[in-house]
């Protein structure tokens, strides 16, 4: 059988030929990809010609195509459909890939050749390509001596293996920690479709006749808002916060501790005081100190607001508030203060309408896009759907894939991946995917979303638009390949259309009657917008400051008790308010131990400053218009990293971002 990774796909937009891909194809394709890539590098460094942009940088951008094809599919599957076979392969492949990347980035002959490339006369994007390659090689350790490079290779290999171990252990313990209940009475308060989904999840797990509440990745679990049984709420919350910290074979704490220590050692080797200093050196934030100052500046008013909210919840409950009580009584207070019951809105948020009449419709009104589902194009799992995306003039823009439902082989949370990046050099257009984790409904029942899931759907599609709209020459700069503290910005902006009048009226309709979500309800949702921001900001900052604490450890620091360190870090940061645990605790903080956000979880609120200011621009410039959409697309979304992202923002906005809209949004002004 021929290996489908060894040649470019012949499908539309080079969509990977998932129907032809088998597990046994991965390892041979990686082996071929490693060899091919190294041979291409040897040809670059062995050239007898003087280094030029064409024979060095263009050659580098075109090198490694087989490895790129197999890596994108494999590592997407490792989080979206991590079968036992894929997990076993990942344990072999991840360290090999880390070694291969070191073989490229630590290649002194290649580094010297890049340094010799003349930049005079290059267009700005090409000159930036040279600059970014040089920076990347230096940050990767190309200037270290031989002994230091040997040490660096060892550290990178072990970190790669540990990241895989953390991810796989967390997936197992998240599945194992799901709360199994015997009777429907224990689920009192949940909607009929949610109870049906719990029954389906239990049956799928081999517990016919019972009910299974599966866990999403963050600490807060959606069912906590509705469950009337306080003991069931407690059990669900404790299942969430003890994942990875139960002292079993899936315990992740020792893995996290070891990773933090290795990252600190690597940072010192590269000339930085801490990993946090190294990780933030290449971001849009001016410095680690500026980040810490801003987070601490926000922490005190956030906790103050959370304490005020807690007092209202205690008055409603008639007793002290524990973490598992917060969402339940917050919903009651929200209803009493604003007459808003978000859970009661689920019948208005049916997945197909949210998707077609909400997310896609907003993209049509703002950017002129249209979407055609392609049932003949297959994904890696039967749940995956494929749409071709067209510009207003009918030209093809790319493919959008959606994988919306949860399953045991999928990591928790939501994310966007790219199977093919846009590049004028390669003549490619984007193929992107959004992954969500919506509970599978019972047979014949509609998929009804919570309001939070609607927000997530719009958010992740913002990432997809960032990838689809990419209009750059070089693959290195394509789509979402921007600094970590900028990448969340376009996705956050896309959330603004959820309750925009023309959009919400089009998609928020009762799935049985077709009745539109009443305007007075929408008005009350707006009025209640700042309610709960004390909780949300405190939980977010707890995770952010915990991330920075783990990655601000100097090399050689030994953490004997990770949970004690966690508690101390939160107390030292002034963010230790017991009823509001961090959005992620160490043992299930996948973003930082297996997701590329190490010392960068601050990016969400840093990006939100740009987002909040952009929302104000849209509102003051006429809102949902093609002119506004084209301006945002042309000046920012299309640019990728081909220009400095903050310069792209200035070209879009006409100035630097203003912090005030963010402070107002989060009730911190």
DSSP 201-238: HHHHTT-TTSEEEPPPSSSS-GGGGT---HHHHHHHHH
pLDDT of residue 1: 59
Using CA of residue 416, residue 351, residue 534, residue 242, what is the dihedral sign?
negative
CATH for 272-343+530-621+632-665? Answer: 1.10.1370.10
Tokens encoding 60: 């580098």
pLDDT of residue 148: 98
Q: How far is CA 5 from the centre of its chain?
A: 26
Beta bridge partners of 415: 435
Tokens 């994108």 appear where? 72
Task: Find, among 648, 273, 295, 272, the residue nearest to 483 by Cα.
Answer: 648
Q: What phi, psi does 273 have (nearest 5°)?
A: -70, -35
Task: Find, among 485, 513, 447, 438, the residue nearest to 606 by Cα.
Answer: 485
Tokens encoding 506: 């089009």
Task: Find, among 170, 194, 180, 173, the residue nearest to 439 by Cα.
Answer: 194
Contact 206, 199 (CB under 8 A): no
Contact 16, 69 (CB under 8 A): yes
Largest CA distance in the chain: 81
Contact 309, 330 (CB under 8 A): yes
**Ranges in the chain, pLDDT < 70:** 1
pLDDT of residue 192: 93
Q: What phi, psi does 390 have (nearest 5°)?
A: -120, 145
**DSSP conformational letter for 408:** T
Radius of gyration of the chain (CA): 25
Q: What is the crossing angle of helices 451-468 and 360-367, to 10°?
A: 40
Domain extents in the chain = 12-143, 177-241, 272-343+530-621+632-665, 346-520
pLDDT of residue 533: 95
Task: Find, among 379, 380, 401, the residue nearest to 389 by Cα.
Answer: 401
pLDDT of residue 491: 98
pLDDT of residue 530: 87
Q: What is the crossing angle of helices 146-176 and 253-269, to 10°?
A: 160
- Cα 459 to Cα 656: distance, rounded to the nearest angstrom: 23
Q: What is the DSSP string of 530-589?
A: TTTHHHHHHHHHHHHHHHHHHTTPPTT---S-HHHHHHHHHHHTT---TTS--SS-GGG-
Q: Cα(first)–Cα(last) distance of the chain, in Å?
A: 63
SS3 1: coil
Contact 617, 611 (CB under 8 A): no
Instruction: Establish whether domains 272-343+530-621+632-665 and 346-520 are of one fold.
Output: yes
pLDDT of residue 646: 96
Task: Find, among 62, 147, 145, 159, the residue nearest to 108 by Cα.
Answer: 145
**DSSP conformational letter for 450:** P
Q: How far is CA 568 from the centre of its chain?
A: 27
Q: Where are the beta strands (DSSP E) in 308-429?
A: 370-373, 385-390, 396-405, 415-420
pLDDT of residue 584: 98
- Cα 241 to Cα 583: distance, rounded to the nearest angstrom: 10
Q: Which residues contact 582 (CB under 8 A, 6 or more apart)?
A: 219, 539, 542, 543, 546, 570, 575
Tokens encoding 480: 């979402």
What CATH number matches the domain at 12-143, 1.20.272.10, 3.40.50.300, 3.40.50.150, 1.20.1050.40? 1.20.1050.40
User: In the annotation, is 460 catalytic?
Assistant: yes
Q: Which CATH architecture has domain 346-520?
A: Orthogonal Bundle (1.10)
Please pick, among 165, 460, 488, 608, the residue that the annotation labels catalytic.
460
- Cα 633 to Cα 206: distance, rounded to the nearest angstrom: 48
Contact 217, 595 (CB under 8 A): no
301: buried, middle or exposed (CB in 10 Å: 19+, 13-18, 0-12)? middle
SS3 435: strand
SS3 473: coil
Contact 279, 598 (CB under 8 A): yes
Tokens 């719009």 appear where? 458
- Cα 176 to Cα 189: distance, rounded to the nearest angstrom: 24
Contact 241, 144 (CB under 8 A): no
- Cα 31 to Cα 482: distance, rounded to the nearest angstrom: 29
Q: What is the DSSP string of 477-506?
A: G-TT-S-HHHHHHHHHHHGGGTT-HHHHHH
Q: What phi, psi does 454 have (nearest 5°)?
A: -65, -45
- Cα 582 to Cα 542: distance, rounded to the nearest angstrom: 4
Number of other residues whose CB lies within 10 A of the CB of residue 300 = 12
């Amino acid at each position: 059988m021929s290996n489908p990774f060894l040649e470019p796909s012949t499908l539309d937009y080079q969509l990977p030929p998932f129907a032809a891909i088998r597990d046994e194809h991965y390892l041979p394709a990686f082996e071929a990809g490693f060899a091919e890539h190294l041979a291409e590098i040897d040809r670059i460094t062995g050239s007898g010609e003087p280094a030029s942009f064409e024979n060095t940088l263009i050659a580098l951008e075109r090198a490694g195509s087989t490895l790129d094809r197999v890596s994108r599919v494999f590592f997407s599957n490792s989080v979206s459909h991590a079968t036992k076979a894929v997990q076993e392969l990942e344990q072999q492949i991840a360290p090999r890939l880390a070694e291969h990347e070191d073989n490229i980035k630590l290649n002194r002959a290649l580094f010297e050749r890049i340094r010799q490339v003349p930049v005079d006369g290059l267009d700005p994007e090409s000159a930036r390509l040279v600059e970014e390659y040089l920076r990347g090689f230096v940050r990767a350790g190309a200037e270290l001596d031989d002994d230091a490079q040997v040490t660096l290779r060892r550290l990178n290999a072990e970190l790669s293996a540990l990241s895989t171990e953390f991810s796989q252990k967390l997936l197992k313990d998240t599945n194992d920690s799901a709360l199994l209940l015997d009777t429907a009475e224990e689920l009192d308060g949940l909607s009929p479709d949610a109870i049906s989904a719990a029954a389906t999840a239990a049956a799928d797990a081999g517990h016919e006749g019972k009910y299974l509440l599966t866990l999403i990745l963050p600490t807060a679990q959606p069912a906590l808002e509705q469950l009337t049984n306080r003991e069931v709420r407690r059990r669900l919350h404790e299942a969430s916060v003890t994942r990875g910290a139960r002292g079993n074979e899936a315990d992740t704490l020792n893995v996290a501790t070891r990773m933090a220590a290795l990252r600190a050692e690597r940072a010192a080797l590269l000339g930085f005081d801490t990993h946090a200093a190294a990780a933030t050196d290449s971001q849009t934030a001016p410095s680690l100190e500026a980040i810490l100052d801003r987070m601490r500046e926000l922490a005190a008013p956030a906790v103050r607001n959370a304490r005020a909210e807690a007092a209202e919840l205690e008055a409603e409950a008639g007793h002290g508030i524990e973490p598992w009580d917060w969402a339940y009584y917050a919903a009651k207070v929200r209803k009493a203060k604003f007459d808003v019951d978000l859970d009661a809105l689920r019948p208005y948020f049916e997945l197909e309408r949210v998707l077609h009449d909400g997310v896609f419709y907003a993209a049509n009104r703002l950017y002129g896009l249209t979407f055609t589902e392609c049932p003949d194009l297959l994904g890696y799992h039967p749940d995956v759907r494929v749409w071709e995306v067209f510009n207003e003039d009918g030209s093809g823009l790319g493919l959008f894939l959606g994988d919306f439902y949860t399953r045991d082989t999928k990591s928790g949370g939501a994310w966007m991946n790219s199977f093919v990046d846009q590049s004028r050099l390669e003549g490619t257009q984007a193929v992107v995917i959004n992954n969500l984790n919506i509970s599978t409904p019972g047979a014949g029942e509609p998929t009804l979303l919570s309001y939070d899931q609607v927000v997530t759907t719009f958010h992740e599609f913002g990432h997809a638009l960032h990838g689809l709209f990419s209009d750059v020459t070089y693959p290195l700069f394509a789509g979402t390949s921007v600094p970590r503290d900028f990448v969340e910005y376009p996705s956050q902006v896309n959330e603004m259309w959820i309750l925009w009048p023309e959009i919400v009226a089009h998609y928020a309709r009762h799935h049985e009657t077709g009745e539109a979500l009443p305007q007075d309800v929408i008005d009350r949702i707006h009025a209640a917008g700042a309610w709960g921001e004390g909780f949300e900001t405190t939980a977010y900052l707890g995770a952010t400051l915990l991330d920075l604490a783990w990655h601000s450890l100097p090399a050689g620091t030994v953490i004997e008790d990770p949970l004690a360190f966690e508690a101390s870090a939160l107390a030292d940061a002034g963010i230790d308010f017991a009823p509001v645990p961090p959005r992620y605790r160490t043992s299930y903080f996948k973003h930082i131990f297996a997701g590329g956000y190490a010392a960068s979880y601050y990016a969400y609120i840093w990006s939100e400053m740009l987002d909040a200011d952009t929302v104000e621009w849209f509102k003051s410039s006429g809102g949902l218009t093609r002119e506004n959409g084209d301006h945002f697309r042309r000046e920012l979304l299309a640019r990728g990293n081909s220009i400095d992202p903050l310069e792209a923002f200035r070209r879009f906005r006409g100035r630097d971002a203003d912090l005030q809209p963010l402070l107002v949004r989060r009730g911190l002004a």
